[in-house]
C-alpha cells in the first residue's frame, strides 16, 4: 500500500481525526458532556478578569480533559474489540484509563479554582 505524503497526507489525517471525533461524540456520553463543559465554560474563561496566560491555562485544562477522555475511549474500544470476556488485564486497562480522566478533571478543577476563586 502506497503511503500518502505532503498535503494529501494532511488532508487524510484531518479527515480521520474528524471521523474519530464524530464517532466518540456519538457513542460516548462523557465526550458529549465534556464538549458541553467546553461550550459553557469557554465564555467564562474569555470574560474573566485574568491575564492571557491564565485564560490559556483555563482553556488548556478544558481541552486536556477532552483529550484524555478520547484516549480513554480509544483504550476501551480496543479492549472491547479484543474480547468482551471479563479479564483482569482488560479491567486494569479500563480502570487506568478512567483514572487518567479523573486526574485530568481534578487538574482542571484545581486550575479553575486557583485562577478564578483564590
Which residues form the catalytic set? 69
Neighbours of 13 (CB within 10 A): 11
- Could you tell me the CA-to-CA distances from 74 to 21, 40, 78, 102, 103 in Å, in that order? 11, 25, 6, 16, 17
Amino acid at each position: 500500500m502506497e503511503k500518502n505524503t505532503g498535503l494529501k497526507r494532511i488532508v487524510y489525517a484531518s479527515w480521520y481525526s474528524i471521523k474519530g471525533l464524530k464517532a466518540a461524540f456519538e457513542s460516548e456520553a462523557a465526550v458529549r458532556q465534556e464538549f458541553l463543559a467546553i461550550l459553557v465554560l469557554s465564555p467564562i474563561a474569555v470574560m474573566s478578569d485574568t491575564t492571557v496566560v491564565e485564560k490559556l491555562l483555563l482553556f488548556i485544562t478544558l481541552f486536556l480533559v477532552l483529550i484524555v477522555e478520547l484516549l480513554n475511549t480509544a483504550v476501551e474500544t480496543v479492549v472491547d474489540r479484543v474480547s468482551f470476556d471479563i479479564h483482569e488485564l482488560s479491567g486494569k486497562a479500563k480502570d487506568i484509563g478512567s483514572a487518567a480522566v479523573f486526574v485530568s478533571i481534578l487538574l482542571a478543577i484545581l486550575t479553575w479554582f486557583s485562577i478564578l476563586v483564590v
